[in-house]
């Protein structure tokens, strides 16, 4: 890795050189230039981005599970096709993001191993279960809605490969969001049972979705440098507020009640929401959410049971290479 | 109250479209069960992709069956409100996913047939079936390429993958004969050039399949006894479980719109 090579070089001017490079780097960031894989970057910038992009990738992959849970039970062929296409998109997002993370010098295998070992995180939201079909609509509407709020600013993130991945991801994500909202509209215009199913899903997902934006600003450990480096352009609380303000009228349109009796609109037009249960958030991140064990177990099972397939592919590729070389030598 | 089964007027053309639609739906459903559980992310995408193609084919064929039948049935009623005895798919496509080798060999046997079948059906005198064939043929060519490559990788990969691939071939072989069978209801459609005679495809299918199996260092079983029954609703025990999952919401909330 470039930074390591620099850091291990001899000479007393090393610190000065780094300081000069760091200043140049910050000047490029301040001028809104994009940082590319071969450019010099501070080791901490590389580390933060590797963490963030890989967690983002893991989230896409683990996120296939709660929705995948309903593919075989989707209530119409149209919904089934849309859901299958959506989960396929998510897998694609995971692949873009792993590729973006790999430009920072860590392999996808290492990153995936860290996730399977429980050392790398994924979004807290995917540790909640999908209990009814309405959960699929709610995930599209709220979870993808929140993801878009988070990801649109990332399209202007200072690291080029991440920003470009986000542009592609956001296009598909907004399609998913509309699709989810349409499921909700259909349920809310349907039978009393369907409407109740929709309300119940909103009741269960609302607070976990607000937690997706991360801890409150005064408790967020990554924000200062991330803001300085233009990885992050809005604070957690700013994005959360934007999301709530956008979502309240949508819930009204659906005729659903947001499960927060204390919610009120202030003089600025913003919706003030009640206190979030940050203890629940901490517990979920610590592995104690309702589905943490199941999600990791499912990913590990796929990885372990697929080992012989990956080994077969590698062995065959090796044999083919050997045969080609032998042929060429003849 | 569970939703009642629909009644279907199985005229030869309705039955014909339903049989092909059921093949595509059930195989697509099986592939969708892999979602999130495949050996590699690339394969998760490929399996979902093929499942989606098949689901698309099923929807077109069901819609056509509904149009020909001219009652108030539609794609969802055909899919969600017929029970095991009314389903008309091949026994091959309802076989469980098993390990990755089982899934790929099942896919390979079917795709090697579907590729020839849809290409031949492009000449159907029925313009809708010919149009569906023209679209499906492009998809099945991809499915065949993908599954053939995996059969070779697995057969000529490691000892374990070879063993699993051979086991899958041996297990699924008996379900391949049904693809080439013709009954009275199809005979008339074949005579009218609406349908093609699948028996005529068998030599070419065998040639494709043998070629790939040989390249994969695998062998075809010598026992050529073939199981049949799917076309007339006599299925394996696997289909009932698949349908109870597929149909659960429509059965629980009769008449709702989703």
Q: 0.90 cut: is pTM over it?
A: yes
Q: Say whether A81 and B157 touch across the interface (CB within 8 A).
A: no
Q: Say whether A73 and B249 touch across the interface (CB within 8 A).
A: yes
Q: Closest to B153 (Cβ–Cβ): which among A64, A84, A313?
A: A313
How far is A203 from A291, CA to CA, in rounded Å?
Answer: 18
Q: pLDDT tens across B224-250, in order?
A: 999 999 999 999 999 999 999 999 999
Q: pLDDT tens across B168-222, in order?
A: 999 999 999 999 999 999 999 999 999 999 999 999 999 999 999 999 999 999 9
Q: What is the CA radius of gyration of chain B?
A: 18
User: Which pLDDT band holds residue A33 (cuts at 50, 70, 90)?
Assistant: very high
Q: Closest to B44 (Cβ–Cβ): which among A91, A307, A319?
A: A91
How far is A239 from A235, CA to CA, in rounded Å?
Answer: 6
Q: State the average pLDDT over residues B127-149.
A: 98
Instruction: List the structure tokens of B69.
Output: 């039948």
Q: What is the pLDDT of residue A6?
A: 32
User: Which pLDDT band holds residue A5 (cuts at 50, 70, 90)?
Assistant: very low
Q: What is the CA radius of gyration of chain A?
A: 23
Whether B48 and chain A come into contact, CB under 8 Å, resolves to yes
**CA dihedral for A111, A113, A119, A123, sign (positive or negative):** positive
How far is A163 from A100, CA to CA, in rounded Å?
Answer: 9
Answer yes or no: is pLDDT of A222 > 80: no
Q: pLDDT tens across A263-310, in order?
A: 999 999 999 999 999 999 999 999 999 999 999 999 999 999 999 999
For residue A159, the cross-strand partners are A35
How far is A207 from B217, CA to CA, in rounded Å?
Answer: 56
Q: Say whether B157 and A95 touch across the interface (CB within 8 A).
A: no
ipTM over 0.90: yes
**How far B184 CA sits from the closest chain A CA (Å)?**
31
The residues near B243 (Cβ < 8 Å, ≥ 6 apart) are: B83, B84, B87
**How many other β-carbons are positioned within 10 Å of the β-carbon of residue B12?**
18
How far is A272 from A269, CA to CA, in rounded Å?
Answer: 9
Q: Say whether B41 and A78 touch across the interface (CB within 8 A).
A: no
Q: What is the pLDDT of residue A218?
A: 86
Q: pLDDT tens across A149-183, in order?
A: 999 999 999 999 999 999 999 999 999 999 999 99
**How many other β-carbons are positioned within 10 Å of the β-carbon of residue B71?**
12
**CA dihedral for B31, B35, B38, B41, sign (positive or negative):** positive
Answer yes or no: is pLDDT of A3 > 50: no
Answer yes or no: is pLDDT of A2 > 50: no
Q: pLDDT tens across A132-145, in order?
A: 999 999 999 999 99
Helices vs strands, H then E, count in chain B:
11, 0
How far is A91 from B49, CA to CA, in rounded Å?
Answer: 11
Average pLDDT of chain B to the nearest whole number: 97
Please list the helix, strand and coil fractions of chain B in percent, rounded to the nearest 5, in that order: 70, 0, 30
User: Which pLDDT band holds residue A224 (cuts at 50, 70, 90)?
Assistant: confident
Q: pLDDT tens across B143-174, in order?
A: 999 999 999 999 999 999 999 999 999 999 99
Please answer whether residues A138 and A205 qualify as being in contact, where contact means their C-beta atoms are separated by less than 8 angstroms: yes
DSSP B126-178: SHHHHHHHHHHHHHHHHHHHHHHHHHHHHHTS-HHHHHHHHHHHHHHGGGSGG
Look-up: residue for tokens 């988070």?
A: A150
């Amino acid at each position: 890795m470039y930074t390591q090579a620099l850091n291990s070089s001899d000479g007393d001017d090393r610190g000065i050189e780094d300081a000069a490079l760091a200043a140049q780097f910050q000047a490029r960031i301040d001028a809104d230039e994009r940082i590319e894989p071969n450019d010099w970057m501070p080791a901490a910038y590389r580390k933060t981005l590797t963490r963030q992009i890989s967690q983002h990738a893991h989230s896409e992959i683990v996120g296939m599970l709660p929705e995948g849970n309903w593919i075989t039970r989707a209530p119409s062929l149209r919904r089934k096709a849309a859901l299958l296409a959506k989960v396929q998109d998510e897998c694609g997002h995971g692949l873009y993001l792993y590729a973006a993370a790999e430009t920072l010098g860590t392999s996808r295998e290492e990153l995936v191993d860290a996730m399977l070992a429980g050392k790398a995180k994924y979004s807290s939201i995917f540790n909640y279960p999908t209990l009814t079909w309405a959960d699929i609509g709610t995930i599209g509407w709220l979870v993808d809605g929140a993801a878009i709020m988070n990801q649109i600013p990332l399209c202007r993130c200072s690291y080029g490969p991440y920003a470009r991945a986000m542009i592609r991801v956001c296009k598909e994500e907004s399609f998913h969001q509309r699709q989810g909202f349409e499921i909700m509209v259909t349920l809310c215009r349907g039978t009393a049972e369907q409407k109740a199913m929709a309300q119940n899903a909103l009741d269960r997902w609302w607070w976990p979705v607000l937690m997706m934006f991360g801890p409150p600003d005064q408790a967020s450990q990554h924000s200062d440098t991330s803001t300085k480096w233009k990885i992050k352009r809005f604070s957690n609380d700013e994005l959360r507020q934007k999301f709530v303000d956008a979502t309240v009228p949508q819930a009204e349109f659906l005729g659903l009640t947001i499960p927060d009796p204390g919610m009120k609109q202030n003089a600025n037009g913003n919706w003030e929401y009640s206190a979030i249960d940050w203890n629940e958030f901490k517990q979920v991140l610590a592995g104690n959410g309702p589905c943490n064990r199941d999600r990791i177990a499912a990913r590990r099972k796929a990885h372990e049971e697929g080992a012989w397939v990956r080994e077969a592919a590698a062995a065959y590729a090796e044999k083919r290479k050997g045969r080609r070389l032998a042929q060429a030598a003849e | 109250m569970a939703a009642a089964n629909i009644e279907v007027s199985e005229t030869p053309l309705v039955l014909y479209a339903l049989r092909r639609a059921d093949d595509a739906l059930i195989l697509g459903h099986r592939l969708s069960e892999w979602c999130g559980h495949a050996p590699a992310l690339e394969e998760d995408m490929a399996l979902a992709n093929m499942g989606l193609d098949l689901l698309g084919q099923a929807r077109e064929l069901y819609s056509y069956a509904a149009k020909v039948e001219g009652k108030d049935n539609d794609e969802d009623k055909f899919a969600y409100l017929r029970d095991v005895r009314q389903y008309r798919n091949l026994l091959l496509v309802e076989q469980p996913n098993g390990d990755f080798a089982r899934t790929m060999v099942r896919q390979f046997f079917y795709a090697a047939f579907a590729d020839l079948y849809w290409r031949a059906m492009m000449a159907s005198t029925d313009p809708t079936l010919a149009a569906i064939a023209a679209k499906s043929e492009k998809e099945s060519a991809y499915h065949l390429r993908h599954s053939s490559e995996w059969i070779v990788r697995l057969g000529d990969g490691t000892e374990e993958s070879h063993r699993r691939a051979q086991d899958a071939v041996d297990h699924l072989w008996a379900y391949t004969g049904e693809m080439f069978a013709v009954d009275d209801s199809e005979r008339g459609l074949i005579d009218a050039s609406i349908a093609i005679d699948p028996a005529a495809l068998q030599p070419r299918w065998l040639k494709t399949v043998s070629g790939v199996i040989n390249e994969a260092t695998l062998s075809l079983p010598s026992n050529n006894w073939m199981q049949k029954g799917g076309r007339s609703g006599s299925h394996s025990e696997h289909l009932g479980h698949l349908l109870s999952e597929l149909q659960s919401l429509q059965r629980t909330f009769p008449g709702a719109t989703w």
